[in-house]
Structure 1
Amino acid sequence: MNVLVIGATGYIGSAVAAALTRAGHDVAALRRPGGSAPAEGLGTVAGDLTDPASLTLAAKGFDRVVHAGPPLGERADLAAVDALLAAGSPLLHTTGAAVLGGGAVDEESAPDPHPLVSWRAEAERRVLAAGGQVVRPGLVYGDGGGLVPGLLAAKAAERGAGVYIGEPGVRWPVVHVRDLAELYVAVLARGVPGAVWHGVSETVRLDAIAAALGGGRAVSWPLDEARAELGPLADLFTRDQDVSSGRTRRALGWSPAHTSMIEELRR
């Protein structure tokens, strides 16, 4: 297929673009004026997530458009979704597990988004109503990127122990970035219009992640202190989730190769 990848220089998007290229697709990257050049071998199309008209023009004529770009806020994100849908190319849109509520949830569960990303449920609704597809990754890790080295590992180094926020026992869905990239390949090959797919390889306790980063030692970062530094993001760390990807695996034949985040962090 001829595929446009939005976010192709980012953590998730660069892995997705590379995986699609390996699978034989012709991949182009959206590039904003002054933006970083994508990996060698990728074509480029001019466009900017903050300029809806440029997105509609950029996305026209592609067999698929993969939106793995960064969230920019409610107004910009919803305008971008509308602009991409207006181009008429089937859209594969990335949201995240934070659009779901706490407890045991799966691909059929109704969205109950955390306030930090409250508009993502509406973005999903618009994409699905237009026949697009949605991928909800868990916490993405691996290959030196994501929230783990960016925040959690930095806090462990700062405090001399792994840090989790609030009470112990909170669970999060996680996925290795390379497994997530292969999910996009599977969606392009076997996905169906109007479907939601979960990019989750396992469920891991946040205090266990903290202990792995802290050499076996983990301490609680009180929620009020974390809020003072992180703002609303701190509350997201207290949402306990057990997110299933069972339907995704069965329908797409997706089988993650990285099945123990804790072991990888220890290594």
Structure 2
Amino acid sequence: MTSVLVIGATGYSGAYVAAAFAEAGHQVSALQRPGGRTVPDRYPAVPGDLSDPASLTAAARGFDLVVQIGRIEGDIEREGARALLDSGARLIHTSGADVLGSGEVAEDDDPKPPPIVGWRAEVERAVLAGGGVVVRPGLIYGNRGGVVQDMFVPLANRIGAGVYVGAPGVRWAAVHVEDLARLYLEVAAKAAPGTAWNGVSETVTVDRLAAAVGGGVAVSWPEDAPVPPEIGLIGPLMRFDQEVSSEKTRREMGWKPLHESIADHYLRERTAAR
């Protein structure tokens, strides 16, 4: 039995990852940050704060594995990752597929992130140099959570259509939250230190996704106009186009995603709700 500390177990994807490890027979604990959401009763709570790297070293010490889903943006995230590695525990750090940059990219490509997530490249380098492992999810969706549910759906509800920006054809990487949780189990069991893996089950065009969210109706938002407030936080990524390969991850980790269509998922949900 492996002792696992999950950082972010009270969040959307972290809850599924923690549950996956527990259901696989591992001994799971969860980081409890000051003032944060209370850790579920099924997991022992371990005090620690992502903004206080020293507390992370103390929290992780004695665990076999730390799985970091929750994060804090900027240089402090890099220092936190180093602090976790200093504990002596194995580390699986969550980055994002967008760190690889635009165009056709794969696991072993050098990160070329857009400015909005520019800090992630240095965090990845620190994790890999320290013998940790990196997982890069695409757009996480499913089970009533994630960016699409929290941002795109409210916007579609307000204006009566899904929204994309500019011309159609912009590509995004995506992964269902349950498939992603299973990937962490595979990575924990099989990944060598200092390696990175892409948690991407498919590529979807943003206009197709918008149409699905809009129940079959989508509109193009002018590129020179401010993006609607519902999607303001990801406005700089609305024209970010990439095709992310997970071929190496599937082959070497034995990962087989079961959910292959984010667009079909939302089209079913949105048309059923009408």
TM range (shorter): over 0.9
Q: Match of 2:65? A: 64
**3-state SS, counterpart of residue 225 of structure 2:** helix
Provide the rounded CA distance (Å) in 1 between the counterparts of 2:19 and 2:158. Answer: 34
Q: Secondary structure at the residue paired with 1:224?
A: coil
Aligned to 1:8: 9
User: Within 2, Cα distance between the matches of 1:36 and 1:195?
Assistant: 31
Contact 1:210 1:218 in 2 (8 A): yes
Q: Equivalent residue for 2:40? A: 39
Summarize the alignment of residues 246-261 of structure 1 with structure 2, pairs less than 5 Å apart.
246-261=247-262
Cα offset, 1:153, TM superposition: 0.9
Determine if contact 1:223/1:235 at 8 Å carries over to the other structure: no
Q: For residues 97 and 226 of structure 2, what CA distance do their matches in structure 1 show?
A: 21
* Residue in 2 that maps onto 1:22: 23
Note the residue ranges of structure 2 that are not aligned, 5 or more in a row.
269-274
- Amino acid in the other structure paired with 1:225: A
> Do the aligned residues in 2 keep the contact of 1:165 with 1:234 (CA within 8 Å)?
no
Contact preservation (8 Å) 2:216, 2:267: no
Q: CA deviation at 1:208?
A: 0.3
1:81 corresponds in structure 2 to 81
CA distance in structure 2 between the aligned counterparts of 1:55 and 1:49, rounded to whole angstroms: 7
CA distance in 2, matches of 1:232, 1:23: 35
* d(CA) in 2 for partners of 1:26, 1:245: 29
Give the distance between the partners of 1:154 and 1:228, measured in 2 at CA: 11
The reply to whether residue 214 of structure 1 matches residue 217 of structure 2 is: no
Equivalent residues of 1:161, 1:213 under 8 A apart: yes
Report the counterpart of residue 107 of structure 2 in structure 1: 107
Could you tell me which amino acid in structure 1 is paired with residue 53 of structure 2?
P
**1:165: Cα distance to partner?**
1.8
Following superposition, the deviation at residue 33 of structure 1 comes to: 2.2
Q: Decide whether the 8 Å contact of 1:227 with 1:233 is kept in 2.
A: no
Alignment partners' CA distance in 1, 2:91 and 2:180: 17
CA apart distance, 1:227: 4.7
Give the drift of 1:39. 2.5
Partner of 2:191: 191
SS in 2 for 1:3: strand
Structure 1: distance between partners of 2:100 and 2:223:
21
CA distance in 2, matches of 1:21, 1:223: 45
SS of residue in 1 equivalent to 2:38? coil
Q: Distance in 2 between matches of 1:57 and 1:2?
A: 15
Give me the whole-angstrom Cα distance separating, in 2, the residues matched to 1:150 and 1:186. Answer: 28
CA distance in 2, matches of 1:52, 1:194: 21
- CA–CA distance in structure 1, aligned partners of residues 41 and 96 of structure 2: 28
Deviation, 1:44, is 1.2
Q: CA deviation at 1:86?
A: 1.5
Contact in 1 for aligned 2:34/2:49 (Cα 8 Å): yes
Range with greater deviation from structure 2 (4-13 or 29-38)? 29-38
Q: Is the 8 A contact 1:107 1:197 kept in 2?
A: yes
The amino acid that maps onto 1:112 is: K
Contact 1:116 1:232 in 2 (8 A): no
- Tell me how large the CA RMSD over aligned residues is: 1.4
Report the residue type matching 1:85 in the other structure.
Answer: L
Q: CA deviation at 1:177?
A: 0.2
Please give the secondary structure, in 1, of the residue aligned with 2:41.
coil
What letter is aligned with 2:253?
L
| Aligned residue type for 2:30 | A
What do the CA deviations read for 1:216-255 (whole angstroms, capped 9, x no partner)? 1111112333457455731212111110100000111100
Determine the C-alpha separation between the residues in 2 that align with 1:162 and 1:187.
35
Distance of 1:228 and 1:26 partners within structure 2: 44
Map of 1:96 onto structure 2: 96
1:215 Cα deviation from its structure 2 partner: 1.8
Structure 1 segments, 4+ long, off by >3 Å, are: 226-232
* Structure-to-structure mapping, 1:102-181, within 5 angstroms: 102-181=102-181
The percentage of counterpart residues that share the same residue type is: 54
Equivalent residue, structure 1, for 2:272: none
Query: Which AA in structure 1 matches 2:11?
Result: G
CA-CA distance at 1:94 after TM superposition: 0.3
What code does the residue aligned with 1:139 have? L
Tell me the matched-pair count.
266
TM-score normalised by structure 1 residue count: 0.96
Aligned to 1:262: 263
**Aligned-residue offset at 1:117:** 0.9
